[in-house]
C-alpha cells in the first residue's frame, strides 16, 4: 500500500496542483491531507473545492477549527512581531471570505484518521494525538515520542503543523512529520519548494 500525504496546504492552490499531479503519477492508493487549509493567501475556497472535488480525505488542523468556529486566534506560533501582525490580518480576512461550504467542510473534518496496513495501525492527525496545535519537533527527547505513541495507540503516526519534515523510528514505532505543501520551512536546492511525502506501507 502506498499513500501520499499532503502536509499543511495553507491555501497554496498552485502547490496543491503540483503535488496532486505528482501523487497521481506515482499511482498511490490513497491521498490524505493534514489540515490547516487556510491562511497566508486568498484561495481558501479554491483549496477546499479542490479537496472535495478530488475526494481527498483529511483531518482538521488548528487553523481549520479556528476559521470554522470563528475563534479569536488560530492557535499559531509566530517568529517575530511583523509576521504575527501579517498573519493575524490574513486570519481575519480568511474568516470573512471563507464561504459557508468551506467552513462546514472544515468543521466536519475529523480530528484523526485510523487504518490498518499490513498488520500495523496507522494514525493520521494534524499535530498531536490529543492536541491539534502541538509543536512536535524532531529534537524532542525519545521519552516524548514514547508518550505520544502510547497516547495515539498506533504503530505509525503521520502529522504536520511545524512545516518541518522528518521521519524517526523508535522501537518499531514510526513517526513521520509530513512538513508543508503550501508554506514549507525547508529549502531544496536553494529555494523553497512544495513538499509531498510518500509512505510505503510494508
Question: What is the rounded average pLDDT of the residues 82-108?
Answer: 91
Asked whether 68 and 94 are in contact (CB, 8 A), the reply is no
* Domain boundaries, given as residue ranges, for the chain: 2-200
Residue 188 pLDDT level (bands cut at 50, 70, 90): low
Closest CA to 181 of 193, 169, 199: 193
pTM (predicted TM-score): 0.92
> According to the model, what pLDDT value does residue 69 have?
95
The yes-or-no verdict on residue 193 having pLDDT over 60 is: no
pLDDT of the residue at 191? 46
Q: How high does pLDDT run on average in the chain?
A: 91
pLDDT band for position 185 (50/70/90)? Answer: confident
Note the pLDDT of residue 167: 94
33: phi then psi, degrees, rounded to nearest 5:
-115, 155
At 195 the pLDDT is: 72
Domain spanning 2-200, CATH architecture: 4-Layer Sandwich (3.60)
Rounded to whole angstroms, the Cα distance separating 67 from 51 reads 17
Task: Give the residue-averaged pLDDT of 163-171.
Answer: 94
Q: Which neighbouring-strand residues pair with 147? A: none
pLDDT of residue 187: 61
Amino acid at each position: 500500500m502506498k499513500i501520499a500525504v499532503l502536509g499543511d496546504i495553507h491555501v497554496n492552490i498552485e502547490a496543491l496542483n503540483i503535488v496532486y499531479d505528482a501523487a497521481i503519477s506515482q499511482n498511490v492508493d490513497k491521498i490524505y491531507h493534514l489540515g490547516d487549509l487556510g491562511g497566508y493567501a486568498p484561495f481558501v475556497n479554491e483549496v477546499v473545492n479542490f479537496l472535495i472535488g478530488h475526494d481527498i480525505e483529511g483531518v482538521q488542523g488548528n487553523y481549520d477549527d479556528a476559521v470554522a468556529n470563528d475563534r479569536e486566534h488560530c492557535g499559531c506560533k509566530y517568529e517575530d512581531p511583523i509576521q504575527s501582525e501579517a498573519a493575524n490580518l490574513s486570519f481575519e480576512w480568511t474568516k470573512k471570505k471563507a464561504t459557508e461550504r468551506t467552513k462546514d467542510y472544515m468543521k466536519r473534518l475529523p480530528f484523526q484518521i485510523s487504518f490498518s496496513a499490513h498488520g500495523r495501525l496507522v494514525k493520521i492527525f494534524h499535530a498531536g494525538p490529543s492536541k491539534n496545535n502541538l509543536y512536535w519537533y524532531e529534537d524532542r527527547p525519545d521519552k516524548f515520542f514514547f508518550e505520544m505513541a502510547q497516547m495515539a495507540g498506533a504503530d505509525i503516526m503521520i502529522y504536520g503543523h511545524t512545516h518541518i519534515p522528518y521521519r524517526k523510528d523508535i522501537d518499531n514505532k514510526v513517526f513521520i512529520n509530513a512538513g508543508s505543501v503550501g508554506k514549507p520551512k525547508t529549502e531544496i536546492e536553494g529555494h523553497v519548494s512544495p513538499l509531498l511525502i510518500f509512505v510505503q506501507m510494508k
